[in-house]
Structure formats: structure tokens, C-alpha cells
Amino acid sequence: MNTQKGFVAAFKDFWFRAGDFRGSSTRGQYWWIFLIDLLLGVVLGIAVGVLTVATLAGVGSSGTRSPLQFMGSAAGIPFIVALGIFLFQGLPMLTLSIRRYQDAGVTPWLLLLTWLAPALITSLSGRNVAALIIASILYLIGFIIIPLLPTRHPEPQWSTRPNEDGQKASMLSAIPDFFRRGGVFSGRSSRSQYWWIILWSVIIGLGGFILMMIGSIFFLVLGSHPGRMDVDLSGYYAFRSIFVWLASLVYLPSLTLVIRRFRDAEINPWWYGVLTLLQVVVSVGLILSKQYAASWIATAVILVIEVIITALPTKQTAHI
């Protein structure tokens, strides 16, 4: 158990305990991460604003850029970085908050009221001032007041660390293994542990996409004004943000799962980093040159390579 204190210890604790739902975390472990995210948010927000103005000024009267070209410009870089940081922090931030609540003697189920309820209120209320005030108060309680409560465990408590050996998994047992080992970069994962998660991702992804489309149509209709061309999109964007947050819960566990699957097939996990970097560089380059079809083809080729590697049998018979 890591009993060290300070920024470095809190940073390591944040990522490596992403799958720890039952332990405890001190106020210091929570507020170091809060401070880091706050500073990063300010810096990246300023960068996005400044570079957006510069990009729009550079376009001038020569025409408008497509959204893909804009995201590939200098203005899109800090936005993509901020989005990446947010997506990979989904699960570790949730489990950190759960551990902080538990350490403060507050039931983690209260997160439904202090996290989820404000998001739903914002989605359904649009620009209603009273509803936005209520949502802000709930966010304040959830993110500030409760985490400020005194710690009950000066030395943070860990729950039982998950088994790092790759094992056979059923369709149902693969899910808790996926989340419990969300911050475990070491060890191995068998083919069943990997491919059951892929199947679940497809099923849930399709269901979520259908639900998001239905909800989006509902909010666009709800936000429309009879006889006017403008549409109140505040509820629509708040609704979409809920799905983005839900998606963020699987980014880090997915990364660690692929790393363990590569290792289980005795392929150096760094090759996954090389393939990912290659995919990003090639895709951005082709998009900026407006070769969209070639970008999809290159992405598909790299994806096929990853599928072949993750389909390889485990090299240690004890884990099959």
C-alpha cells in the first residue's frame, strides 16, 4: 500500500487505483488531482481561445474550414489534448470520488444526487435559471463540500488488489474484471477476457447510439421555438455530455486491457503505442490534405493489424 504523501504520490495513486472502488482516499489525494485538473483546464482553455481567434483571423475572407480541418489546425490541438485528458480520467475520477466519500463517512450512492442529478437537471431545464442554480449547488456539494470533510484514514486503505494473471472469463465475469483492473498495466489478459469486452462494447455502443439519437431528436424538438429559426441547444449539449462522460469510464480500462492482451500474446505492449501514434499521424495528415477515403483505409489497415495481434493465443498454457 502506498502511504506516501504529496503531488507525485497522489498522481500515481489516481491512475493505478482506477479500479479500486472499495478503499479510501485522503483529502490530499483528492485535492492534488483537483488542483492539477483546474490548472490544466485554465491553460488549455486559454490556448483554445487564443488559437481559435488566430485561426479564424487567418482564414479571413478566403473561405471557411471544415470541422475536420479546423480540428487538425493549431486551434484544435489543445482541444484534442483536453478531450483526451477528460476521457481517460473518467474511471479514475469516479473511483477517487467514491473512495473520498467513503473516507469522509458519506455513502458513495450520494454521487447519484451530486453528479448525475445535476447533469439531468441541466439537460431537461435548458436555460431555466432556477434549475441551473440547483444544479450548481449540487455540483458544489459533490465536488467541493463533501471532499473537504475530514479524513477517517490518515493512511489510505486499499481494497484487495485484483489478480493480474490472465484467466478464462465468461460473458458476465469479464465485466467486473475489466473495471477492477482498470488501472493495472502489468499482468496479462486472456483472449476471452478481451473479446467478451469487445462484444459488450458493440452491444452497449449500438444501444447507446440509438438512445442518443432518440434523445437528441427529443431535445432538438423541445428546444425549438414556434415561428423562429433558432433552437435552444443547451439541453441538447448537456444531454450529449452525459454520454461522453459514460464513454470516459471505459477509456483507461480499455487501454490497460489491450496492453495486457499484447503481453499475453508475447507482443511488446509498446507496439500498441507505435500503432496508435501511426494511426493518429496518418489520419491527421490525410484529413488535412482532404484525402478522407485514404484516411479511412489507413485506419482500417492498422485496425486489422491490432485485431490479428489481440486474436493470437496466449503463450503461457497456464493462462488458457
Instruction: Identify the pLDDT of residue 216.
Output: 74
pLDDT beyond 50 at 90 = yes
Which CA distances in Å does 177 have to 141, 184, 188, 253, 256? 32, 11, 12, 10, 12
* Helix segments in the chain, DSSP class H: 7-16, 27-59, 67-71, 76-88, 90-103, 111, 117-125, 129-140, 174-180, 191-222, 234-248, 251-264, 270-288, 292-310
Other beta carbons within 10 angstroms of residue 143's beta carbon come to: 16
Is residue 276, in this structure, part of any structural domain at all?
A: no
More reliable by pLDDT, 107 or 277: 107
Is residue 19, in this structure, part of any structural domain at all?
A: yes
Is residue 59, in this structure, part of any structural domain at all?
A: yes
Determine contact, residues 107/101, Cβ cutoff 8 Å.
Answer: yes
More reliable by pLDDT, 275 or 285: 275
Is residue 161, in this structure, part of any structural domain at all?
A: no
Is residue 98, in this structure, part of any structural domain at all?
A: yes
Instruction: Identify the pLDDT of residue 209.
Output: 87
Instruction: Identify the pLDDT of residue 179.
Output: 94
Other beta carbons within 10 angstroms of residue 292's beta carbon come to: 13
Is residue 46, in this structure, part of any structural domain at all?
A: yes
Is residue 149, in this structure, part of any structural domain at all?
A: yes
Task: Give CA–CA dist 270/255, Å, rounded.
Answer: 12
More reliable by pLDDT, 301 or 75: 301
Domain enclosing residue 35, as ranges? 1-156
Collect contacts of 281-284 with beta carbons under 8 A, ≥24 apart. 284/72
Is residue 208, in this structure, part of any structural domain at all?
A: no
Mean of all residue pLDDT scores within the chain: 82
- Categorize the per-residue pLDDT at 280 as very low, low, confident or very high, splitting at 50, 70 and 90: confident
Q: What is the DSSP letter of 151?
A: P
Instruction: Identify the pLDDT of residue 217.
Output: 77
- Categorize the per-residue pLDDT at 288 as very low, low, confident or very high, splitting at 50, 70 and 90: low
Q: What is the mean pLDDT of residues 48-65?
A: 64
What is the count of structural domains for the chain?
Answer: 1
Task: Output the CA angle 207-213-219, nearest 5 degrees.
Answer: 130
What is the per-residue pLDDT across 249-273, written as a single tens digit (0 to 9) for each?
999 999 999 999 999 999 999 999 9
What is the per-residue pLDDT across 170-222, written as a single tens digit (0 to 9) for each?
889 899 999 999 999 988 999 999 999 999 999 998 998 888 888 777 766 66
Residue 149 cell numbers, joined: 470533510
Other beta carbons within 10 angstroms of residue 191's beta carbon come to: 20
Other beta carbons within 10 angstroms of residue 95's beta carbon come to: 25
Share of the chain above pLDDT 90, in %: 44
pLDDT beyond 90 at 101 = yes
What is the per-residue pLDDT across 116-140, written as a single tens digit (0 to 9) for each?
898 888 877 767 788 889 999 999 9
Instruction: Identify the pLDDT of residue 269.
Output: 93
Q: Which residues pair with 260 in a beta bridge?
A: none
Residue with cell 479571413: 60
Instruction: Identify the pLDDT of residue 126.
Output: 67
pLDDT beyond 90 at 308 = yes
